[in-house]
Chain A
Amino acid sequence: MIATSTTSTVRTVRQTIMQGEARASADERVIMSTVLGSCVATCLYDPIARVGGMNHYLLAKPLDQSVACSDGSYGLYLMELLINEMLKLGADKRRMKARLYGGANMSAGLSRIGSENAAFARQFLRDEAIQTVFEDLEGSNARRIEFSPVNGLVRARTVVGEAVPSIKPINLTKDNPRGGSQGQLGDVDLF
């Protein structure tokens, strides 16, 4: 991690990755951080291009086939968004490596939603032939992670006694703002 110093011109730029976000950077000053309970963060990096990025998602437990499909689509969207942001910065998907964090099962009443989110990430990376070099998934403790996208290094620690973001599964029956000027979930615009 790059230390902030009054004598150095290099200053750490901290970015907090919130649930539902995916961001990429090729800036060595950037440190991406997030706090994870049942959510999963995918940290991807291309060691040759020195480009990396992180997403942070929580998929609701599928209730039926139609929701499962949409929920899967949302998870894939955040994965694809992360990969596309990295491609724009010069990364090559074939060189990408992954580190996975989160997916804790923090409450017996939540039907192991953390494990289901972890399984989604593992399956995605396997299907896309992206190598997972490290994973710190499941268990019962929340985690705080700090990720340097340029070199792919992660510092993770267990969160004890800190506020963990409340669980907010994606509600796919309502409009799903994607930020910016984008429309609603799956909007169709015929020319």
Chain B
Amino acid sequence: METNQPSAQDASSSQVRVLTVDDSASMRALLRAALTSSGFEVEQAEDGQEALEWLATNEVDVVLTDINMPRLDGFGLIEKLRESALHAERPILVLTTESSDEKKMRAKNAGATGWIVKPFDAAKLTAALRRVAH
């Protein structure tokens, strides 16, 4: 689990704490750079299982998760979080290369808040995070 403090003084997002969940080290680095430069506080987990364990004792404003991951995938993570009273209302955005409507509907039915297809656009991503966080 890695933590990074916000580097920018952006009042609109300085309070927003995001947990990104992705098994790709490259994607984690890219997300950290994009989100911290926009003033977000970023926590990171490498798969759904690590995210679930961390969220058992920690709070974030938004969870941003990939779908295809080892151990516990994004669908499993969303389902597990929605079973918990602590995270029943937690905004969860999916960020994925998956493009099928079937997968998108599965995420929606599992309780996801939104669906974003990679490659991401930093401005659209940060706007979506701010929108669902408040």
Q: Which residues of A contact B (CB under 8 A)?
A: 65-66, 69-70, 72-74, 76-77, 79-81, 84, 87, 93, 123-124, 127-129, 176, 178, 180-183, 185-191
Contacts and interface: CB of A to CB of B under 8 A. Distances in A.
Contact of B112 (A73, A80, A129, A191): A191
B26 A73 contact: no
A127 B23 CA distance: 11
A131 B132 CA distance: 39
B121 A70 contact: yes
Contact of B118 (A66, A77, A93, A129): A77
Given A127-B26, A188-B127, 11 more contacts: A70-B122, A73-B119, A73-B120, A80-B24, A81-B97, A84-B97, A93-B70, A187-B116, A188-B125, A189-B114, A190-B114
Given A80-B118, A187-B124, A69 B113 contact: no
Contacts of A128: 24-26
B33 A189 contact: no
B117 A186 contact: yes
B115 A185 contact: no
A189 B122 contact: no
B121 A186 contact: yes
Nearest to A82: B97
The 3 closest A-B pairs by CB, nearest first: A186-B121, A77-B119, A73-B119
Contacts of A93: 23, 70
B104 interface: yes
Nearest to B67: A84
B56 interface: no
A77 B116 contact: no
B16 interface: no
B48 to A, nearest CB: 15
Contacts of B128: 188, 190
Interface of B: 23-27, 29-30, 33-34, 37, 68, 70, 93, 97-99, 101, 104, 108, 112-125, 127-128, 131-132
Given A81-B97, A87-B68, A69 B117 contact: no
A129 to B, nearest CB: 8
Contacts of B116: 186-189
B24 A186 contact: no
A127 B25 contact: yes
Contacts of B118: 73, 76-77, 80, 186
B27 A80 contact: yes
Contacts of A76: 24, 26-27, 30, 118-119
Contacts of A80: 24, 27, 97, 118
B45 to A, nearest CB: 17
19 contacts: A65-B37, A66-B122, A69-B30, A70-B122, A74-B119, A80-B24, A127-B29, A176-B119, A180-B99, A183-B117, A186-B117, A186-B119, A186-B124, A187-B117, A189-B114, A189-B115, A189-B116, A190-B131, A191-B108
Contacts of B120: 70, 73, 185-186
